[in-house]
Amino acid sequence: MSSASPAAAPDVTNPDVVLVVDFGAQYAQLIARRVREARVYSEIVPSTMPVAEMLAKNPKAIILSGGPSSVYAEGAPRLDRALFEAGVPVFGMCYGFQLMATTLGGTVDNTGAREYGRTPLHVSKAGSTLFEGTPVEQSVWMSHGDACSAAPEGFTVTASTDVVPVAAFENDEKKLYGVQYHPEVLHSTHGQQILEHFLYRGAGIQPSWTTGNVIEEQVAAIRAQVGDKRAICGLSGGVDSAVAAALVQKAIGDQLTCVYVDHGLMRKGETQQVEKDFVAATGARLVVVDAEKRFLDALAGVSDPETKRKIIGREFIRVFEQAQLEILQEEGPEVAFLVQGTLYPDIVESGGGTGTANIKSHHNVGGLPEDIEFELVEPLRQLFKDEVRMVGQELGLPEEIVQRQPFPGPGLGIRIVGEVTKERLDLLREADAIAREELTAAGLDRDIWQCPVVLLADVRSVGVQGDGRTYGHPIVLRPVSSEDAMTADWSRLPYEVLARISTRITNEVADVNRVVLDVTSKPPGTIEWE
């Protein structure tokens, strides 16, 4: 997705839409993101949606995602053949490819010959709609157990692997295309090019969706939703809430009051930064609520991470409700809306994606109490983090806000493994500040997605400091690289930087005598420890 203005901006109330049919894997979210990177608007729909409803959206194209099922399994997702006979261009990926093949009379076999991970692909029709301009030998990302052995009638086989005779097929007459692999992942070396070939050449879509369109669309939607009522925004100091607040501010102006809750769980110096940078950038009204004691009292004696998240979410809402009463007493009009910076990955990990498991409760999703008295305004709900940064830049927010590394709404409360206390928070704040200072000094801020610093509060390790034996807490460094938080890998930081961080923390932070490095990818580990 580009921030440049298109030559002819589309009607944002009725954009050229590509539907991504979700067959129960997180891949659907990533496909939607890749489509948007191609400057084409996308929406995700569940595979259970009737075909008539899909077609009623007047899609310019439809993409069928991968999924965990076998096309032969009982209860596996199906699609009405009418979808492929409606004249709408369709692109099937992995499970979607196999479903297209079997629905239209091709053959998919459970041969037991599985392919997982990087796989060499042999392109047999180099000038085809999908593969034009790409190498005849390329690396793709496979994840399947079944294999297509015969394409449906009227389809041309365009690629194969050593295991799968039909790894891609095309029917230009009916504008139906499919690949056995996952072009949406970066490991498929020409995947984005293949996807764009489908969008531009196969479906004939003009790339014209931009961040400017997102802003126009959301401003109109926010005005329609809020009307003449008032809204408050929970400003956390992070990128998401700042961009959400700036969008709503652009839409309704002084009908918005931003509320920053100083819950005592922020990193060193961040409260002061929020008060200075955000207000200067937007001119929004900001109310700062000192609620540290309230949160620490509520968290006393609690170690379970899910319980901590829910307590923090509950207390946030209670503080907002109190802020609502104060704003009502001061200004009169009803405050009926709560603005949140909820993103797509938040929804997916909280079980909001079709067929996805609940990994953990996000403060923006599963962490809110059921008796919430506000209607939510979530202008970023369909966006990924990189898209949010682009929107923030388009809105004129400063780099210090837009490029800030992600920080969870529950703050340091979920970076302390164990009970949250004032003493432990102060200890973690100092360790975290040192890590951030050294990463910035080394020029690594843009090279990593984020670096959570975790305190293992309920663990003591033996150490030697000075001439004595110590029992201190371990600190964990969790530097990760990612594009959208859906997946992540640990960042290979220079040893000398890690050494400086470790030396400074153990020298300068009382009760810490050990620093360890988390080298787990996501999956299997999440980015945050709790």
DSSP 201: I
Q: What is the 3-state secondary structure (H, E, C) of 6-59?
A: CCCCCCCCCCCEEEEEECCCCHHHHHHHHHHHCCCEEEEEECCCCHHHHHHCCC
Residue 325: Cβ-neighbour burial (10 angstroms; 0-12, 13-18, 19+): exposed
Could you give the CA distance from residue 252 to residue 222 in angstroms, rounded to a whole number?
8
Could you give the CA distance from residue 143 to residue 172 in angstroms, rounded to a whole number?
26
Neighbouring C-beta atoms of residue 504, cutoff 10 Å:
18
Could you give the count of Cα atoms lying within 13 Å of 78 in the half-sphere of its Cβ?
10
Could you give the CA distance from residue 431 to residue 427 in angstroms, rounded to a whole number?
7
Identify whether 184 is a catalytic site residue.
Answer: yes
Q: What is the CA radius of gyration of the chain?
A: 25
Residue 463: Cβ-neighbour burial (10 angstroms; 0-12, 13-18, 19+): middle
Could you give the CA distance from residue 59 to residue 16 in angstroms, rounded to a whole number?
7
Could you give the CA distance from residue 232 to residue 255 in angstroms, rounded to a whole number?
8
- Among candidate residues 94, 233, 258, 451, the one labeled active-site is 94
Degrees to nearest 5, angle at CA 37 with 35 and 42: 35
Residue indicated by tokens 């801020």: 445
Residue indicated by tokens 């009737």: 50
- Among candidate residues 37, 148, 170, 182, the one labeled active-site is 182
- Amino acid (1-letter code) at residue 103: T
- Among candidate residues 37, 115, 170, 184, the one labeled active-site is 184
User: Could you tell me the sign of the dihedral formed by the alpha carbons of 392, 265, 524, 480, in that order?
Assistant: positive
| Residues known to be catalytic | 94, 182, 184
